[in-house]
A and B are shown apart, each in its own frame.
Chain A
Amino acid sequence: MKKTALLIIAVLGILLLRAAEDLPFWGDPQSPASVHLSDYYLEESYEETSVPNIVTSVLADYRGYDTMFETVVIFCAGITVLIVLRRTHRRRAKVISPRPERPGADIILQTAARLLVPMMQLFALYVVAHGHHSPGGGFQGGVILGSSLILLALSYDIQMALHRFKEKLVLLFSAGGVLLYAAIGLACLFLGRNFLAYGAWAALLGISEPEAHSHGMLGVEIGVAITVLCIMFSLYIDLASGGDLDEGL
């Protein structure tokens, strides 16, 4: 078995090395990937979407359909972990038993967390909102928001974090984030344009088309952030407690 694996790896390695000889040089401005589409995005995207950060406009507008499904992948992963771990009717021996006795609450840890969590959340909101102008956006902001909750659960315990953010709400918002994304796209369809053609919002909001694109992107980024936040937290509480939500790591 090990020899077969070695053989497969060797063949794959040779294939990849052979292919690597043929690839364009790192950062080559004349490589096909740099000349075919990039010029268009660099020259036109600000005119068309009024978003200076081209990464955001490609991700959330030109290829917004992909990004919607990326968000669905995250949602799907959350539900997958939930359905596998969190079964209410079952007889399950605790895998990690006996657990170490929890030492008493650590005041340094908890105070630090209490100071950090609001700052993290504020910064996360900035990252979401400022994705149009600088690196950032819904995925990054959502992860920071999610980790602020995980920090709370780590420094106190899962019960405390769940008390602040009930599991039912977590699940509600995780679907709600994707639904917000899809709804913004669907509205364009009902306004007589194609799915995710944010320009359709222009007449409704009384703004120009490029501005409508910018607003549409902000809307979907918020949807992404909500889903990522909820799924991050949901994954942590399910994995850390083996699906029982009683105690964490």
Chain B
Amino acid sequence: MSLEQHAIIIILAPLVGSLLISLFGGLHRRLSYLLLVACLGISFASTIATLRLVAARAAIGPLHYYLGDWPPPYGIELVIDPLNALVLTMIAGISLLVAIYSKEMARRDNPDRLHHYYTLFALLVAGLLGITASGDVFNIYVLTEISALASYALLARGRGFAYYATFKYIIMGTIGASLYLLGVGYLYIKTGTLNIAELPTFINSSGLVDSVSIRVAFILIMVGLWIKMAFFPLHGWLPNAYTRAATTTSCLVAPLMTKVSVYVMIRVMLGVFTLPYIYHVMGWNRAVVWLASLAIVAGSIGALAQTNIKRMLTYIIVAEVGYMVGGAWLGNAAGLTGAIYHIVSDGLMTACLFMAVGAITYKTGDSSLEAMRGVFRRMPVTAALFVVGALAMIGIPPTCGFFSKWYLIQGGLVAGHYGFVGALLLSSLINAVLFFRLFEIGYYAPFDTEGTPPRGHGTTVVDEAPFSMLMPLLISAVMIIVVGLSTSRIVSGLIQYSLPAGL
């Protein structure tokens, strides 16, 4: 098999893995876990191989993989360029970490049907990877359905009102997907093609550039994707659905789902409609950046009001979606670089924070602010890694969170959009308040350990989360710093090539 076959193995490994888990996972307690880790490991190895391949030929052009050997536009193709190679690596890496992390927690949360839980886990990852690798707008829809369906099932398997929260998400998610599909339908009827590489020339041809239905298609696709990524004010479904979910589910879904929708938005903007069309024909980029600024402020203020750490993190996700949408719509190189870089860095930060909170919940059975009491003494490693994630979220160098904010703010300044810059700075400030409050509770607040008086010294027993949880958490924290330190390589070696020429 040639090296290019890695492109399809990325998607097939979790797909075939999920089928095997469903067939054989019930036979033995540990088998489904091992199968999951194995198939995601293969997928991750393939993304690394593809990333190297794409990076080596970044200046030449993207990697095309024709499914069924049918050349586009007659068949479907996967197109891997530096942009989605980066996102694919992020998705495969984080899902592998979460899979390893799920060893103890998933078994506790799923006393029955663990293998079906893992089947859906792998299907969700297969869907997300497929969306990212695809070069066909309808294929993206089909794979969105898979990842969405799997995420509904996983989220519904949570606590308390999880069913109700998920039901809301199903309604919103279905509306979002339907709007996207309707938009794709209009594009097809006006251009006759679904291939992303072919669409821009049709759309920008003299016959179609003024077409009303193409504009309507653009609006429908954008609004559909905004619902999917929980862009303010369409974010109502997210906090409840993600908070109520079981730990492993939220660790998987929170860092990946919204980020993939942001990726699709950027792909549609750059690859299907192209920036000149969006800025000159549509011309509401400033309004969208204002909306993004509002999303950042609203998400941050929402996070301030929460008394549950997980819920607080979900509001931070809403704010972070504002970062990426705003950066992409600024329409300059720095803003787009920031938005693309932030997809990766936000994925890592969110994964690190959710896994740390999950480890604390695993030990205390609670995810309220009170659960943080004494955490630095009881779970020193988890707490230290939580601090790394939090510092990244605030934007302290050398974590990757600092560099994405750097590019985004630079983009805001170049575009002269000071509202967006102000919102970014305000959000950093609020994040600092949020996380230092948690550190304060964790470090100073009195806490009980059986029998010892509060503020007791020396008697506290260190009670860390199991190794299978700490190891992925550690890797995610290290990656936050590694990605931060290799920012210039990522930007000049990968992201630079995915920006449209002449920007």
> Does B bind A?
yes
Q: Give the nearest-CB partner of B139 in chain A.
A: A66
Contacts A37-B192, A69-B142, A73-B146: A79 and B116 contacting too (C-beta < 8 A)?
Answer: yes
The minimal Cβ–Cβ distance linking A170 to chain B, given in whole angstroms, is 12
- The complex places the Cα of A86 from the Cα of B156 at a distance, in Å, of 13
On whether the beta carbons of B76 and A65 are closer than 8 Å, the reply is yes
On whether the beta carbons of A199 and B69 are closer than 8 Å, the reply is yes
On whether the beta carbons of A16 and B216 are closer than 8 Å, the reply is yes
Q: Is A195 an interface residue (CB 8 A)?
A: yes
The 8 A CB mask of A32-70 against B (1 = contact, 0 = none) is 111111001100000000000000000001111110011
Spot the interface stretch: A18-26, A107-115, A116-124, A143-151.
A18-26
The 8 A CB mask of A72-101 against B (1 = contact, 0 = none) is 110111011011101111000000000000
Spot the interface stretch: B14-22, B301-309, B369-377, B479-487.
B14-22
Chain A-chain B contacts (Cβ-Cβ < 8 Å), number: 159
- The complex places the Cα of A82 from the Cα of B66 at a distance, in Å, of 35
On whether the beta carbons of A194 and B66 are closer than 8 Å, the reply is yes
Q: Is B291 an interface residue (CB 8 A)?
A: no
Residues B122-157 near A (CB distance < 8 A) = 123, 126, 130, 136, 138-139, 142-143, 145-146, 149-150, 152-153, 156-157
Most chain A C-beta atoms within 10 Å of own C-beta, residue among B8, B75, B112, B130: B75
Contacts A62-B74, A83-B116: A19 and B186 contacting too (C-beta < 8 A)?
Answer: yes
Q: Is B12 an interface residue (CB 8 A)?
A: yes
Q: A189: which of B5, B112, B126, B190 is its contact (CB, 8 Å)?
A: B5
Q: A22: which of B15, B191, B211, B219 is its contact (CB, 8 Å)?
A: B211
On whether the beta carbons of B73 and A37 are closer than 8 Å, the reply is yes
- The complex places the Cα of A77 from the Cα of B123 at a distance, in Å, of 11
Q: Is B406 an interface residue (CB 8 A)?
A: no
What chain B residues lie within 8 Å of A69 (beta carbons)? Answer: 130, 139, 142-143, 146
On whether the beta carbons of B67 and A196 are closer than 8 Å, the reply is yes
Q: Is B433 an interface residue (CB 8 A)?
A: no
On whether the beta carbons of B69 and A194 are closer than 8 Å, the reply is yes
The 8 A CB mask of B60-82 against A (1 = contact, 0 = none) is 00000111111001111000000
- The complex places the Cα of A175 from the Cα of B193 at a distance, in Å, of 32
Interface of A is mostly: helix
Q: Is B273 an interface residue (CB 8 A)?
A: no
Q: A196: which of B5, B68, B191 is its contact (CB, 8 Å)?
A: B68
Interface of B is mostly: helix
The minimal Cβ–Cβ distance linking A179 to chain B, given in whole angstroms, is 5
Q: Is A187 an interface residue (CB 8 A)?
A: no
- The complex places the Cα of A197 from the Cα of B68 at a distance, in Å, of 4
The 8 A CB mask of A168-199 against B (1 = contact, 0 = none) is 00011001101100100010011011111111
The minimal Cβ–Cβ distance linking A153 to chain B, given in whole angstroms, is 22
Q: Is B171 an interface residue (CB 8 A)?
A: no
Contacts A41-B74, A182-B16: A194 and B67 contacting too (C-beta < 8 A)?
Answer: yes
Contacts A18-B212, A70-B142: A195 and B149 contacting too (C-beta < 8 A)?
Answer: no
Contacts A178-B19, A182-B19: A194 and B211 contacting too (C-beta < 8 A)?
Answer: no
Q: Is A105 an interface residue (CB 8 A)?
A: no
What chain A residues lie within 8 Å of B73 (beta carbons)? Answer: 36-37
Contacts A63-B75, A64-B68, A194-B69: A36 and B149 contacting too (C-beta < 8 A)?
Answer: no
On whether the beta carbons of B216 and A18 are closer than 8 Å, the reply is yes
The minimal Cβ–Cβ distance linking B442 to chain A, given in whole angstroms, is 35
Contacts A72-B146, A73-B146, A79-B120: A15 and B12 contacting too (C-beta < 8 A)?
Answer: no
Q: B149: which of A22, A66, A80 is its contact (CB, 8 Å)?
A: A80
Q: Is B57 an interface residue (CB 8 A)?
A: no
Q: B142: which of A66, A176, A179, A194 is its contact (CB, 8 Å)?
A: A66
Q: B212: which of A19, A24, A62, A194 is its contact (CB, 8 Å)?
A: A19
- The complex places the Cα of A32 from the Cα of B23 at a distance, in Å, of 45
Q: Is B362 an interface residue (CB 8 A)?
A: no
Most chain B C-beta atoms within 10 Å of own C-beta, residue among A64, A79, A82, A89: A79
- With A15-B216, A172-B23, A197-B68 already in contact, 16 other A-B pairs whose C-beta atoms are closer than 8 Å: A18-B216, A23-B190, A23-B213, A32-B189, A65-B68, A65-B75, A69-B142, A76-B146, A83-B153, A83-B157, A84-B157, A87-B112, A179-B16, A189-B8, A194-B68, A195-B68
- The contact sample of 26 A-B pairs, CB cut-off 8 A, is A15-B216, A18-B216, A19-B212, A22-B190, A31-B192, A32-B192, A32-B202, A62-B75, A64-B68, A65-B75, A65-B76, A69-B139, A73-B146, A76-B150, A79-B119, A79-B120, A80-B152, A80-B153, A84-B156, A86-B113, A88-B112, A175-B19, A175-B23, A179-B16, A195-B12, A199-B69
Residues on B facing A (Cβ under 8 Å): 1, 5, 8, 12, 15-16, 19-20, 22-23, 65-70, 73-76, 111-113, 116-117, 119-120, 123, 126, 130, 136, 138-139, 142-143, 145-146, 149-150, 152-153, 156-157, 163, 186, 188-193, 202, 211-213, 216-217, 219-220
Q: What 6 A-B pairs come out closest when comparing CB atoms? A: A36-B192, A32-B192, A80-B153, A19-B216, A197-B69, A19-B213
